[in-house]
Chain A
Amino acid sequence: MCGIVGLFLKDQTLAPKLGKMLTDMLVTMSDRGPDSAGIAVYGPASAKGKITVQSETPDADFASLADDLGTIIDADVTLRRKDTHAVLELPADKIAAARQALAELNPALRVMSAGDAIEIYKEVGLPKDVAARFDLSAMAGTHGIGHTRMATESAVTTLGAHPFSTGADQCLVHNGSLSNHNSLRRKLVREGLSFETDNDTEVGAAYLTWKMQTGSSLGEALESSLDDLDGFFTFLVGTKDGFGVVRDPIACKPAVMAETDQYVAFGSEYRALVNLPGIEDARVWEPEPATVYFWSH
């Protein structure tokens, strides 16, 4: 199963409530995915770059991380901790250097996301518990996507949870199961990509990353995923400016969208949308199969 939610704000006066609205949608989808949850929130524009990292031993790993990293990359780095995650803020042009430095400084740290706006938080547990650990409902932002996981293809671990980062300020959540992920993973490994889990969605995310590294736009990468990915999928991809949706041609994994003057919302079920403001008068529809949609600011 799995549940997906997404919220894209047209009316920025709602931005302070993004986390609250998205958390409510996420928790409503607990029945579809009670074993892990994750969320990607795109914050207000900032001149700084952000790297979100996760640690199994955050007390030890985060204590001097900002100073240590700042020394290596010769820049001001600040650290904002949330439970097992921490957001490192640093000059945007130092992100690549910082990622390299982090890998050398502490290989056990996992980079969840990197970019100007994105922060990804994900953990094992009931969606309401995961949301509480990261205080997701207090987050502000312009848009965000979330996922509740019922694992079918690989182990229930933090790294097996969604969203998966696909590049700077980009991420992917998935409802469904890919049936050619093993052969595609082998192909992508030959192309130089690396994997941390046996998860099928990680392969989907790596596939999009690879297509974009080799010259495709995100839209083109999603179009070609319809030919190259076998199996069931409803994908929601987060971008710096908004989000995109694509469903496989059979489209048996559910998807409902709602649009008003204030927002565009996505849910695996209509239930996820019922508490949004003005939902009674929203345009509600199902995205067509094998069709790529984008909403951006």
Chain B
Amino acid sequence: MQTFDLAEQGLRALNQTLHAQKDSTNQTAWDIVNAKGSHAIAVGLDAPIEVNVRGSTGYYCGGMNKQATVHIHGSAGPGVGENMMSGTIIIEGDASQYAGATGRGGLLVIKGNASSRCGISMKGIDIVVHGSIGHMSAFMAQSGNLVVLGDAGDALGDSLYEARLFVRGSVKSLGADCVKKEMRAEHLEILADLLERADADAKPEEFTRYGSARKLYNFHIDNASAY
């Protein structure tokens, strides 16, 4: 295993070192110590490596991730996993606002709570939050799955497109065009798989599915009051 001391060696050296890892690298396990809330840790990775970050992170940890597994042993600042493409990010603590924003693929697991705007504009990423999420989560979410074992804040799924939202607890309020939907066999199957991969102790049957009423896709005069 490779150990990288962020306080000693600095952020630029860290990300350059991690970017240098290719598909065939033998250095597949990395430990980053002294994270101390630094920004942009392990951003833009594109290799099948596992990166363990010791401590809490600042803005944009694991952003644009491809292939790599980034495991944060602490809490994450704003924009964790922003625009991630594939791979896995696991956060042992809480995540600040807009976790997984615009993510296109991969799995983001938050073992604590997520703040506001979790999964905003998500485009294919799967997000599993063991705790609760804040207001305006999944705003304009386009595809992918957002699974919440706790509660959701105000305006969940406002202006939602085709992302699937699964919430086990209460929802403070639904955003425009987001509605409760029937849970079919295919959804239970998706949920069971995500819960298992996220190491989450919950049963698919306990969740409620929310999705788009599809009234806001195109302007229609009959829907004027909903815009």
Contact = CB atoms under 8 A, between A and B. Distances in A.
A289 B116 contact: yes
**Which of the four size classes fits the interface of chain B?**
10 to 19
A219 interface: no
Interface in A226-251: 250-251
B11 to A, nearest CB: 12
Contacts of A256: 96
A254 B97 contact: yes
A195 B169 CA distance: 49
B37 A269 contact: yes
A284 interface: yes
B168 interface: no
A284 B96 contact: no
A256 B58 CA distance: 11
Interface residues of A, number: 15
A254 B77 CA distance: 9
A163 B59 CA distance: 26
Interface string B23-54: 00000000000001111000000000000000
Contact of A270 (B56, B116, B135, B136): B56
A245 to B, nearest CB: 15
A284 B76 CA distance: 11
A80 B216 CA distance: 65
A256 B97 CA distance: 11
Given A254-B96, A289-B135, A271 B58 contact: yes
Nearest to B75: A284
Contact of A286 (B39, B56, B59, B115): B115
Interface in B45-79: 56, 58-59, 75, 77-78
B37 A274 contact: yes
Nearest to B56: A270
A286 B96 contact: yes
B126 interface: no
B37 A271 contact: yes
Given A251-B116, A284-B75, A271 B38 contact: yes
A252 interface: yes
B58 A269 contact: yes
A4 to B, nearest CB: 15
Contacts, number: 41
B158 interface: no
Contacts of B135: 251, 289
Given A284-B56, A286-B115, A289-B116, A270 B75 contact: yes
A27 interface: no
A285 interface: yes
Contacts of B39: 271
Contacts of A274: 36-37
B33 to A, nearest CB: 13
Contact of B77 (A250, A252, A270, A285): A270
B94 interface: yes
A86 interface: no
Contacts of B38: 271
A285 B94 contact: yes
A172 B136 CA distance: 28
Interface in A248-291: 250-252, 254, 256, 269-274, 284-286, 289
Given A254-B78, A289-B116, A289-B135, A273 B96 contact: no
Nearest to B136: A250
Contacts of B136: 250
Given A254-B77, A271-B58, 15 more contacts: A251-B97, A252-B116, A254-B97, A269-B77, A270-B75, A270-B77, A271-B36, A271-B39, A274-B37, A284-B56, A284-B94, A286-B97, A286-B115, A289-B116, A289-B135
Q: Which 4 A-B pairs have the closest CB atoms?
A: A271-B37, A270-B37, A274-B36, A270-B56
19 contacts: A251-B135, A252-B116, A254-B96, A269-B37, A269-B58, A269-B59, A269-B77, A270-B56, A270-B77, A271-B36, A271-B38, A271-B58, A274-B37, A284-B93, A285-B94, A286-B94, A286-B96, A286-B97, A289-B134
